[in-house]
Amino acid sequence: MQIYWQGYSSIRIETKQNEEACTLMTDPFQNESAMRMPRSAEPDVLLLSNQDQKLFNVDAVAGKPFTISEPGEYEVGGVFVYGVQDPEADEGKKRPIIYRLEAEDMALAFLGGLKRNLTNKEIEGLGNVDILILPVGGGDFFDAKAASKIMSQIEPRIVIPIHYHISGIKTKLGTVDQFCESLGVCKREDVNKLKISKKDLPADDMHIMVVERT
């Protein structure tokens, strides 16, 4: 499995199992001078972290991916996708969706659209998580303090920070350095992309994998 950070809460996950390949993408964003959606290979699956598709730059995504923005269970290209939602937590609003992904014998959670704490229903829906993809920069999503609380609730083996400040972007966000400082102990590694298999998962301490923007 290979995981790339494209900016803000957009990631790309490339998986392959039993000779069946699948590429997933999340939350395409509006282009700006310092951050533009990359022209990457056409994804098979597009995951949106809110039911309101107008919040995303869907037109920037090449091809015709299978788009998921509703709770439920899906299987595409050998990847199992579980859209988890607690309607009671966001009554009267366009409701965020969080996702559990199962591929290559690993479980991933994508929390790209949340700012509030997880509810018991959402924690139960996510289950055991190996890799947590988590906003850490604040704004409309988790800040460093809230993100650290979520980490303690889920207890993943790897955390990939997303939605944090890089030079020149319009949105004022906290940095990934500030996030690591808030943790106290931060076993951090910076990589161009995260290439990971089940055997590579850390056995003990939680690792923070900072994936540089592609």
User: Can you give the pLDDT at residue 87?
Assistant: 81
168: domain CATH number? Answer: 3.60.15.10
**Average pLDDT along the chain:** 91
Nearest to 3 by CA among 106, 86, 127, 137: 106
Q: What is the mean pLDDT of each run of 10 residues along the chain (214 residues)?
A: 95 91 94 78 92 89 93 95 88 81 97 88 94 94 91 94 90 92 90 95 92 87
The whole model's pTM is what? 0.94
* Residue closest to 189 by CA, chosen among 153, 169, 159, 149: 159
At 149-173, the pLDDT tens digits run: 999 999 999 999 999 998 888 888 9
Residue 106, C-beta contacts closer than 8 angstroms, at least 6 positions apart: 1, 130, 131, 196, 197, 198, 201
Torsion of CA 202, 117, 98, 112, to 10 degrees: -80
Question: Quick one: pLDDT at residue 88?
Answer: 81
Do 17 and 78 touch, CB atoms closer than 8 A?
A: yes
Host domain of residue 71: 2-211
Count of the separate structural domains present in the chain: 1
